Each structure stands twice: as structure tokens, then as C-alpha cells.
Structure 1
């Protein structure tokens, strides 16, 4: 082993990869070379580009994807890679020629690849990078500091069936939904291979703190001891807590069948503050298997999402087989899961960590409105209004429940009999459903409108003039209060344009609506203003956009300039020139 001086000009000319973004260029002083040098995961290495393969561009420290040319020098990290859709790579035993197996800056020896992939870009390590004393630089030496006292924060996990199942887009949607409710959100990627794409999208979604395992000192997590991954993940969550975040959205890469992922989700002491899992899947069978696996591991699964939500039929299959709600990314962004994640208990804990609140009274002794809460001086934040604990997403769930019951009752009256009931008085039959978007001032609600064989059925509430948001929340609040009577729900039904419902049905619905509000953790009766509940919600005029409408042409596997399926992040090119880009399902 020998040392060579690495001058600053050479460092400046080299293309520094995303994985080394925490290492300052002025720390790179020497090159460690020789046949006896054995690289380790996380070691910084200066490489020469020999032959351009799949990785035609490299992601720089600032996120820009720079073109690579033969003869270029770049600074990357040694690391292993596990990617079923792309490559498996392991670190070699010396500084012999190897491969750039990830455009984020991972050097290792490609040992297997997906048949759709062309070979990786070939590189030659010129030497490990060391400091002025010749000590090799490793990402572990530049990890974030997660030590010290910091309040524990709740965690929601984004897991999936495999690579490209939609985990990152699900995480992004969770960030959007939680930010819309007024929370400080951290987005963390606990495992995977060093690349910035997943971090840039959650940062663009509004995450207050964005971290991944490279910030925890790991270039990749494949073949890394479990204890090291657990320690790095705790360090990242602790860092987010110290930064003042209320909750962390944590993504674990790859699928549950990957041994590393299976170990991480069952790691003792790591997920004590986890409030639930959102599971992304390709199809309904994968969703069923994954949900069962997570439940067996002791996790609370909140909902299913991912690529299967591109198919309404697949969504129905998954909902039936898992017994869980299945939400599209747009629904999660609209707050469909915010109430379930930030239930009353969690929200109270967050408020307690933020500040101590006093409700001030006017000179007559009457309590002022929710906007009059005052925090003691010196505390870091003011508590969010109570309305944030009961988001518009939860309110829409209650409205959908009421709408479903109204439609079922009205169709039973139109048919002269209930569902699958035989009687002589039957005058009509049901004939499936049609989907319809009910537009309210609290956002859009997708409902399944029953069809009947003779004539047509058109629910009155779909064609009523929209109820103002403030009035709608007030009606729901009265109907879900602990002392609510069936008359309170009847007022809501009347305002929706529904009449003729039997008193017994209204009484039954009233109890079920209150129970559902309790399960969602909503406390609507205490709302003094709905401003914060509506903050960040889409206007009523916004239509539900398909992924194709939202993102234009969807390419799946395409060239570097093609638009990408939002569920998939790939940095690949086809094995042969594509004649046309594919739709949602094709790659």
C-alpha cells in the first residue's frame, strides 16, 4: 500500500457523486493505492470511466445528472447493490476493474442483472481517497448526529411487495397529506442503494427534513449487518426529532421477501413508535400476502396503495382480500389517511411536546374561540388548532359512509326489497354499480352508485347545490358528537336533499357514524373554526386527475429524457430502441 497526493484541482475536476455529498472536497487529500488495498462499503474512491454502459450519466452532489464520457474521473463510494429490476453487485477484494452499478455513485462488481438491462458502465478504481494523514475516508465518519436528548416522534412506514411497487410515491403522498394538515414532517429512506431521486421527490412534496441511509453513514444497506442498519435508522429518526419534526415517514426499500427488509421490519426496539404501515403492491395477491406477513410480524397496517391503484378492479380485489381500505396516491395526498395516522392520542402527544396551551377567557369568563390559544413564551411552537386533528380527509370518509347508506336505502325502496332478498313485493332488481365523483366544498369523494335494471337511479345529493364547507363541517360535528341524537343526523340528510328515510334506519346510522368518527380519532364537536381543517385541501373545482393527465406521457422503462411513471424511479435505457413509449402497465 502506498500514498499519493491528491491535489485540490484534480478533486474539483472529478465528478463527485450524490453518495459523497456529506464529504467536503477539502477533506480529500490523498490516494491510497496498491494491490493489498481491500475496499469496504462506504469507502470513497477515485475512479476512471472506461466504457459507457447503462449508466450514461452520474448524479452529482447537487442532484444534477451529468453526462459521462470515457476517460472521465469521478469520486464515488464502494457499496453492494440489490435491485431485482436492475442489478446485483458486490464489492470486490481489491482495486481491480469493476462497475458503476448505480448512477448515484456506487462502485462494485456486477454479478447478476435483469435481462432487460444492458451491462453496467465499466470503471477502474484509481485509489481510495484518504485524509491528510492517509486514513481512508468512509461515509460512516460523516453521518448525521442523532445523539442527545430528543422527544420520540411517531413513525409511519411505507413498505411494499418489491422494487417499483410504488413505495416512494406512497411516501410522497403521505408527506403531502400530513403537510396539508399542518404537521412538520420528516421523510426518511432507511434502506436501499445510494441515489437521490427518492429524496428529491419527497423534498419537492414539502418534507421539512429529508434524510436517507447515506446520511446515516451507509453507501448502501445490502449485506450490511442488521445492527448497523438499525443504528443508522435510529440516528436518522433522532436527527429528525431534534430538528422539530412531528412525524417521520420512513420508507424501507425492496420487498418483504428481501432478507434485509424482512429483518429490518422485525428489528427489536426499532419500531416502538410506529403508528402504522401503508403497504404498496403491484397486485391484489401481493397485497394480501404482504398484509398477512406484516400482521404476523405485529405491525398495524393502515391501508393498501401502490401501483395496483391504477386498476379499479385490482383495488376492489385488494380491499376484499385484505379487509383494508385501498387508496390512490391522490386520495392520500388529500388527507384520506391523516386522521388514522395522527389519531387523538398521537396528536395530543405532539401538542404536549410543542407547548403548553392556555385557553384564555374574556372579561365575562367565556372561553374564546380555538384561535385564541396562547403558548407560553420560550416554547418552540404553538399547538395546532383542534381542527387539524380531524382533517377534511376524515370528514370525507364520514360523508362517503353516509352517502353509501343513503343510496343502499333508496335503492331498496326502488326495488321493493333489500339486497339478495326474495319477496313477492319486489318490483325491480339491482344491476351492478357505476363510479361517480361527488364534488363537495371539502374535496371530491368517489362513490359507487347502484344501477337498477328498470329505469335509472340518480341520488339527489349528487345534484344538490354544494353545501358550504363551514356548514357541512358543522352538520357533521353535531351528528358525531357524543351526545348526538338521530335528529342531528337527520338534519344532515335533509341538507343533502335526502328524504323518506325511516326513523329506525336513521337511528341505526347515527350510532354507526359516531362509532366510525371514534375509530378515525376525530373530535369534530370541538372544532371552533374549519380554516386549518381545510388548509391545503384542493378546491372543489379540481377534478380527479389520472396519472396520465397529471404527468403526460408515461414511459416506464424509457430513455433518460422520457417522462416516468410516478410509481417507478428508474435510471435505465431499453436494450433496443423503443418504437413507442408504453402505457401504465408496460415497461
Structure 2
């Protein structure tokens, strides 16, 4: 029997193995943020691991099933690709270990072969596909007036998350209520979890806004992220640590 692993992009959803069906849909019905399932194929490498909804890394093998979401990634240091490039036969890559599903059109020569899967279908309920946006934070207003520490750099792996962890730790030591957040980038739970472990009392990111990554049109990004900011504002922290993932020179908004 195939083992099913839910990538951390599914952490906002209410999935269990009995509350959805897996149905193959025509490509004309696919869209960013759709929840899909793939069967692991190919020869395993060190990238055949999935970050689950608790942030743990789970080793997967051919025949296992992985739940993730369609999306795009433009991390020029590691790899670039998207769901529109998924092969005609349904072969796809996990663009991040969180289950960001697409196909790498460019990948670092220093990387082993990425986790490869075969599209099994979309997660559906009552014949309708299930999307990340259905589980996003909602808000009536768009207020935000929290003192913020914004962290950005010229590339991924530039030290933004490490700096954020340190800031969270020092502000927590000083007795402040700190929220950690990551508002741009490609879906991965690890970074904001590290904020929680080093002093932030709560954490939020664009996944909470229903986005698998922030490689989306600007208005779609704004519509998704404003409710998240409003929710943070309502929590009334003393400070929010905001990491802007990847690089401002890449199209992550």
C-alpha cells in the first residue's frame, strides 16, 4: 500500500485520507494553488524528502504519494520552474520540499536530481477541486500599524532567516511580544518555524494567505497578503519580524 505524505503547503487545510477524492483534471482546469497529488517515481536522491505539515522531513520512495500544490519558483541560485511546464504525461518535480509542484526548466548543476512525481490527480470534494485559497486567512479590514523589522537580501541563503532568528531572540529576551513572518518567497515551513523556536510567539507567512509561492500577479499577491497583515495587526504584537524571501531582483513581489 502506498504511503501518503502531505507537504507543508497543506498545513492550512483540513485534509485527512478520507475527506477528499483524487481526480485527474484536464490541463485547462489547472491553476496556481490547486492541491494535487503525485506518485513518486525515478531513482531516489538526497532530494527525495518531503517537509510535512509539522515541518519534519520525511523520506519518500517510488510508489509513495505526495500531496502538494501547483505553483512557481524563480530561485536563480537553485532552480527555476513552474506548474505550466509540467510534462504532457504528467511528470512533475517538487520545486521545494514543501510540495510546490511544477517542473524545473533550469536547475543548479550542483544539485542532485530533484524529487520527481507522476500526477495522480487533483484533490476534489463533491466533484470540485480544492484550492489553497479556500483555507486562507480572511479579514474585513486592511489595517496594519505594527512596528516592523524588514529583512531582505540580494539572494536566497544570504542570511536573512539567521538574522531574523537573532532579532526574535533578543526582542523576546527584552520581554516583547514578537510575531515572525515571511511574506514573499516559495513555500517552505522551516524558516518561520525557526522564528517560533527562537522567540516569536506566533508565526505567519504567505501560505496562510493561500499562496504556494508569491510568484503571482501583483494584485493577487496584495489580495492574499493584506488579510494576513490585518490578522497580525489584530494580534497586537510589539514587533513583527518580516522576512522577504529570495531576492527583490526576482519576481516574488
Does the TM-score normalized on the shorter chain lie above 0.5? yes
Q: Does 1:210 align with 2:203?
A: yes
Q: Does 1:228 align with 2:228?
A: no
For 1:62 and 1:259, the matched residues in 2 are separated by 28
Q: Deviations over 1:437-456 (max 9, x none)?
A: xxxxxxxxxxxxxxxxxxxx
For 2:190 and 2:167, the matched residues in 1 are separated by 17
Deviation of the 1:77 alpha carbon: 1.0
For 2:147 and 2:222, the matched residues in 1 are separated by 16
SS in 2 for 1:214: helix
**Which of 146, 156, 159 matches 2:152?**
159
Deviation of the 1:48 alpha carbon: 0.2
Q: TM-score, normalised by structure 1?
A: 0.40
1:126 corresponding residue in structure 2: 120
2:243 corresponding residue in structure 1: 251
4+ residue runs over 4 A deviation: 34-37, 148-151
RMSD over aligned Cα, in angstroms?
2.1
SS in 1 for 2:187: coil
1:106 corresponding residue in structure 2: 100
1:401 corresponding residue in structure 2: none
Higher Cα Rg, which structure: 1
Deviation of the 1:161 alpha carbon: 1.4
Relative to its length, the structure with more helix (as a share) is 1
Q: Does 1:45 align with 2:32?
A: no
Q: Which has the higher contact order (CA 8 A, sep 6+)?
A: 2
Deviation of the 1:84 alpha carbon: 2.2
Contact 1:79 1:107 in 2 (8 A): yes
Contact 1:18 1:61 in 2 (8 A): yes
2:14 corresponding residue in structure 1: 24
Relative to its length, the structure with more strand (as a share) is 2
**Which of 76, 80, 93 matches 1:88?**
80
Q: 1:241 to 1:15 in 2, by over 3 A?
A: same
**Which of 67, 70, 85 matches 2:62?**
70
Q: Does 1:171 align with 2:164?
A: yes
Q: 1:135 to 1:67 in 2, by over 3 A?
A: same
Deviation of the 1:238 alpha carbon: 1.3
Aligned length: 249
Q: TM-score, normalised by structure 2?
A: 0.90
For 1:146 and 1:180, the matched residues in 2 are separated by 31
Contact 1:54 1:117 in 2 (8 A): no
Contact 1:179 1:207 in 2 (8 A): yes
Contact 2:40 2:65 in 1 (8 A): yes
Structure 2 gap segments, 5+ residues each: none
For 1:149 and 1:117, the matched residues in 2 are separated by 41
Q: 1:149 to 1:75 in 2, by over 3 A?
A: closer
